[in-house]
Every structure is written in C-alpha cells, then in structure tokens.
Structure 1
Amino acid sequence: MAPAVVHFEIPADDEDRAAKFYSSAFDWGVQPMPELSYTMITTTPKDDSGMPTVPGAINGGMFRRQGPVVSPVVTVAVDDIDEALGRIESLGGSTVSPRQKVGSMGWSAYFKDTEGNIVGLWQNAEPETGADTANRNDIGA
C-alpha cells in the first residue's frame, strides 16, 4: 500500500487565538500538549488510541510559527523516515528538518519537494534500542 496522508499541521503566530478560531469555525477539538509545545486538533471521531474512526479522515495539530515551516503542512506516514528522506533527496527534494523523536509516539521529519513545498513525514514508534536512538534529535522525550 502506498504511504498515506495521516496528519496535518497548522502553524500559528498566536496559538490560543488560532485554537479558538478553528474550534469555533469548525467545532474542532483542541488539546494543548505543553510538554511538546504542540496542540492536538481533533476533526473527526477517534478510538481509544487516538486514531480516526472515519475511513479517510485525519486529525492534526498546531504549533508556533517559526523556522522553515510557515505554512500548513500535510504529513505522510512511512515505515522508515531515514529511507524516505534518502529517496526524496535522490529525486531532487531536500531535508528541512531531520528525523526527530516525538515523545513516545514516534518520529517526525520535514522535507521540501521539487516545487518548494514543505511536507511532513511520520514514523510510528517501535521498541527502541541504544542503536535506534544514537545521533537522533528528541522533541519532548
């Protein structure tokens, strides 16, 4: 199966204002996660593990606008972020932000495609060994 779009992210200059806007405009749920400097956005019903229960639906997140990610981003799930970034670079794309640990949930990265768009990558967490975490950046670990 081809990698699927599984998440979206919205950068915001004022996270509280943006959370109120999206909550009011679309009745989306917002859940601040201060330990990750992130706000989860729920757009569709989800199960106990946080996964959407509506086929094809995705939930997302919001973070303070800074650095290279200044526009909304879609995120693609992959089995191996490092392999995906290598393939992307071989096709003319570039790494914007390398693989970073996101708490105990998994790993994220950002790349720029051949058209200048920034897109996210996501890899679900697996049990870690010392070799898995060597030379990796951590967010909220």
Structure 2
Amino acid sequence: MEHNMIGWFEIPVTHMERAKKFYEIVFDLTIEVHDLGGIIMGWFPYAEGKTGASGSLVQHEMYTPSDKAGPLIYFSCKDVSIPQGKIEKAGGKIIQPKKEIGGGHGFMALFLDTEGNRLALHSQK
C-alpha cells in the first residue's frame, strides 16, 4: 500500500458555529468554515507531509449526527487526558473516560460532541 486507508472524514453537525467552537476548544486549533453550494464545511487543519487523515465538520440536510450509527472516528493526541479534560467544559459529554486498551496499544476515551456524535480519543500515554 502506498498510503494509509483513510484519506478524509466528515462529521455531521446541525449547528456549525456551536460545533466549530467545541472542536476549537477541545483540540486547541482553528477550523475554517466554507459554504460549498449549500453544504457548510468546517475544515480541520491539514499538515502537509504528516501522517493521519484530515476531515471536516459538515452541516447539510443529508448529514445526521448520531451517537450509535456509523463509523467511530478516533482523534490522535499526545495524551487522551488533555482533550478529555476540555470536553465537558466545551459542552460535550464523556461516555467512556480514559482507559488503557491493552497489548501496548495505548489509551482511549469515548465522548459525545455538542451535536450528539459519538467520537473517540487515542494516545500512547
């Protein structure tokens, strides 16, 4: 394989500004919002030449946030505890606090964002 399997992800939102603020607070980053013919997209930063996929928040009638359906996206971080500590202050909810995965695979936590999406955090420490 020439590259990792995942090249892009989209997270459904119902209120772009609320979702944008949540992710900017939790991950200490800036999201650029663009209107692409009625599809409102909030792009996560992209680091050229770095590993991992980039993606977007998406507000459109075809996108429905869910806490059960669809794939589970894991956000990589230095330490799960750092963004986890910001989730509830930013309006989200922790549904599985940081725990060791086992087998040397690091740590993870599950959370709901302000839109009701179930997402995860992952780190090696």
Q: Give the structure with the higher percent helix.
A: 1
Smaller-chain TM-score bracket:
0.3 to 0.5
Q: Which has the higher contact order (CA 8 A, sep 6+)?
A: 2
Report the TM-score when normalising by structure 2.
0.44
| TM-score, normalised relative to structure 1 | 0.39
Larger Rg, first or second structure (1 or 2): 1
